[in-house]
């Protein structure tokens, strides 16, 4: 159960307010910000001594305020406090993939097996299985000189070569003095390195890292890593995103929208179909029913890239809205630290946070209990900087071994009433470079995805233009901009029709409206329940998009508005069937011929 050895009592509780506990040092060991401490409630009714995990948030003299990650019932003044001497950290090593953790990296399946549905307080388990054996294969020899983060060898973790690296906190060059091959647990040494000061240190398969300390930032300061400019898109196989509102591989994006607009469904399909190596899903305050659905569905689904289970490349961090507030706040930091770890191996990682609004609400509750000066809507004054510090940990990073990895972060925001002017949404929009705004109106009409093309934007479109010109078509970005303008013009005509009727608009404007409606119906929308249309490869997107450009650029001689409407209705029906047909199949080719024949009429 608890892996930590019993520590010496070095502080005591002096006040309790909900999950905020004030402690006072007994003078032996100084208190440190973000240090993990354990509170031993003396008034608890539990049969065993509970050790409640907490993190120091604020220090004043020999006193400090700490947030407790569990219920504080039974905690009273005078209760002993143990200091761990360690910042809030996670374990990094083989065995992370396929796991479901809480915000403090406790494996929920192990806890459930041990205790059932109701988890007792003061209990935690090691994140990595201490009994599992891993076949370690060295990739360096004794005498090699390496920097922090350089690979010593690897073990096979599911379908990945999991690299065992020189500890990240080491400064300067180290020399490998001993290394072995064999089957070992995560606690057994596989190598010994000599530090720059002459001391030797054993290296195991696992290491620990403080979650609030960006791993990449530390490596950059030590001149080990180098940030690189994102130059290719994250291919999601969703036409609307890949074509009109791309997210760079190693970039940032957000999906704000009202309740019921499809944020969780959209994130789930992005997780399943995106061309990345690792997916980390952080349910930081989402409703429990939706999280259970994710946990139960993912192991049963096939990874479209490998044919294996989706969980083979997935980690789920689960802190629902019914779990402790403090643990919810820590869950994003836990998830992004795991993402940085796999990025350091040279892998492409996608982190999905659902939803950052509830994460921000957890910060608001904690800030209120600390009696800090509130900002807008009672959120803490540092809300904006906290959101920026999270998204800034995404990016493309190269390391000393020549490996390049990326960490892409997409967060959902749940503004009350769909109000995009509220603080969390606004702070997020000022940070990310892709905004996929969901519309309640489009969701009500059963449009999927319910992303409003008139609200959404991507600052990556121009940035990724060289990639699009090389991989798709030289004129690709120009066509995209033209279609976006067409959609805006079509919406304006639609509003005029709502007021003046169809007879109140010119034939030219009516055709433009039909063009925009056609693009919306056959390209912006996808059928999430159709095995073919749910995931569209980029090559097929290119072919479909260029066909649409050709169709709406053609000259038509319609006799009247009814003639134009009838034509585009038939064209839309053929095109939807085309979307459902397997690419390059006989049905697909026959439908292309029918579309060509209809155009010639």
CB 282 within 8 A of CB 329: no
What count of other Cβ atoms lies within 10 Å of the Cβ of residue 427? 22
Please classify residue 270 by burial: count the beta carbons closer than 10 Å to its beta carbon, then call 0-12 exposed, 13-18 middle and 19+ buried: buried
The answer on whether 149 is annotated among ligand-binding residues is no
Cα–Cα distance for residue pair 132/183, rounded to 1 Å: 9
The answer on whether 417 is annotated among ligand-binding residues is no
Q: What is the DSSP string of 34-92?
A: TEEEEE--TT---SS---EEEEEEEEETTEEEEEESS--TT--TT-EEEEEEEESEEEE
User: 369 is written with which tokens?
Assistant: 């209990």
The answer on whether 216 is annotated among ligand-binding residues is no
- DSSP assignment letter at 523: I
CB 111 within 8 A of CB 125: yes
The answer on whether 93 is annotated among ligand-binding residues is no
Q: List 201's β-bridge partners, or say none.
A: 193
The answer on whether 262 is annotated among ligand-binding residues is yes
Number of DSSP helices (H) and strands (E) in the chain, helices first: 17, 26
CA nearest 581: which of 514, 509, 516, 531?
Answer: 531
Q: List 282's β-bridge partners, or say none.
A: 317, 353
Cα–Cα distance for residue pair 206/488, rounded to 1 Å: 53
Cis peptide before 137 (omega within 30 of 0): no
CA nearest 331: which of 100, 536, 85, 12?
Answer: 100
The answer on whether 113 is annotated among ligand-binding residues is no
The answer on whether 259 is annotated among ligand-binding residues is yes
Residues 6+ apart with CB under 8 A from 551: 518, 571, 595, 599
CB 410 within 8 A of CB 352: yes
First-to-final CA distance of the chain: 75
Cα–Cα distance for residue pair 316/283, rounded to 1 Å: 8
The answer on whether 95 is annotated among ligand-binding residues is no
- DSSP assignment letter at 504: G
Annotated binding residues: 257-264
Which residues make up each annotated binding site for ATP?
257-264
């Amino acid at each position: 159960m608890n892996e930590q050895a019993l520590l010496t009592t070095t502080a005591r509780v002096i006040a309790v307010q909900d999950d905020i506990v004030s402690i006072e040092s007994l003078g032996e060991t100084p208190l440190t910000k973000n240090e993990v401490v354990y509170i031993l409630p003396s008034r608890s009714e539990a049969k065993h001594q509970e050790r409640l995990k907490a993190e120091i948030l604020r220090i004043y003299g020999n006193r400090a305020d700490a947030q407790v990650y569990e219920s504080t019932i039974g905690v009273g003044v005078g209760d002993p406090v143990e200091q761990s001497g360690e910042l809030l950290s996670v374990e990094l090593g083989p065995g992370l993939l396929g796991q479901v953790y809480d915000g403090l990296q406790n494996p929920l399946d192990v806890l459930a097996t041990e205790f059932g549905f109701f988890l007792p307080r003061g209990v935690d388990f090691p994140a990595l299985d201490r009994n599992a054996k891993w076949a370690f294969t060295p990739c360096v020899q004794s005498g090699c000189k390496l920097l922090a983060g350089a690979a010593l060898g690897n073990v096979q973790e599911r379908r990945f070569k999991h690299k065992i690296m020189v500890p990240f906190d080491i400064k300067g060059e180290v020399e490998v003095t001993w290394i072995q091959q064999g089957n070992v647990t995560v606690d057994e040494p596989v190598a010994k390195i000599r530090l720059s000061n002459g001391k030797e240190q054993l290296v195991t398969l696992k290491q620990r890292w403080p979650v609030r300390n960006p791993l990449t930032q530390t490596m950059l300061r030590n001149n080990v890593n180098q940030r690189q400019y994102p130059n290719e898109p994250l291919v999601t196989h969703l036409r609307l995103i890949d074509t009109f509102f791309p997210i760079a591989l190693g970039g940032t994006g957000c999906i704000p929208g009202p309740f019921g607009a499809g944020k969780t469904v959209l994130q789930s399909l992005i997780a399943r179909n995106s061309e990345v190596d690792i997916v980390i899903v952080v349910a930081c305050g989402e409703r429990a029913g939706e999280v259970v659905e994710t946990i139960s569905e993912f192991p049963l689904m096939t990874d479209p890239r490998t044919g294996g289970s989706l969980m083979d490349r997935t980690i789920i961090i689960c802190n629902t809205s019914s779990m402790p507030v403090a643990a919810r706040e820590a869950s994003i930091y836990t998830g992004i630290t795991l993402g940085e770890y796999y990025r350091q191996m040279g892998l492409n990682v996608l982190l999905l946070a659902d939803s950052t609004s509830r994460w921000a609400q957890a910060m608001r509750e904690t800030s209120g209990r600390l009696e800090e000066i509130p900002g807008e809507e009672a959120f803490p004054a540092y809300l904006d900087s906290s959101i920026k510090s999270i998204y800034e940990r995404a990016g493309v990073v190269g390391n000393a071994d020549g490996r390049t990895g990326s960490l892409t972060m997409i967060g959902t925001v749940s503004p009350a009433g769909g109000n995009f002017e509220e603080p969390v949404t606004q702070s997020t929009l000022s940070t990310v470079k892709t905004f996929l705004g969901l519309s309640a109106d489009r969701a009500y009409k059963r449009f999927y995805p319910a992303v409003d093309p008139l609200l959404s934007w991507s600052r990556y479109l121009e940035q990724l233009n060289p990639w699009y010109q090389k991989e798709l078509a030289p004129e690709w970005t120009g066509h995209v901009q033209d279609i976006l303008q067409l959609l805006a013009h079509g919406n304006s005509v639609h509003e005029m029709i709502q007021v003046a009727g169809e007879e109140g608009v010119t034939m030219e404007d009516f055709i433009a409206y039909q063009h925009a409606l056609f693009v919306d119906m056959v390209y912006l929308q996808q059928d999430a329940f159709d095995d073919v249309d749910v995931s569209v490869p980029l090559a097929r997107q290119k072919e479909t998009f260029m066909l649409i450009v050709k169709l709406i650029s053609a000259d038509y001689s319609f006799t009247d508005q009814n003639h134009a409407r009838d034509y585009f209705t038939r064209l839309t029906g053929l095109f939807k069937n085309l979307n459902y047909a397997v690419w390059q199949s006989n049905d697909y080719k026959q439908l292309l011929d029918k579309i060509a024949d209809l155009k010639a009429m």
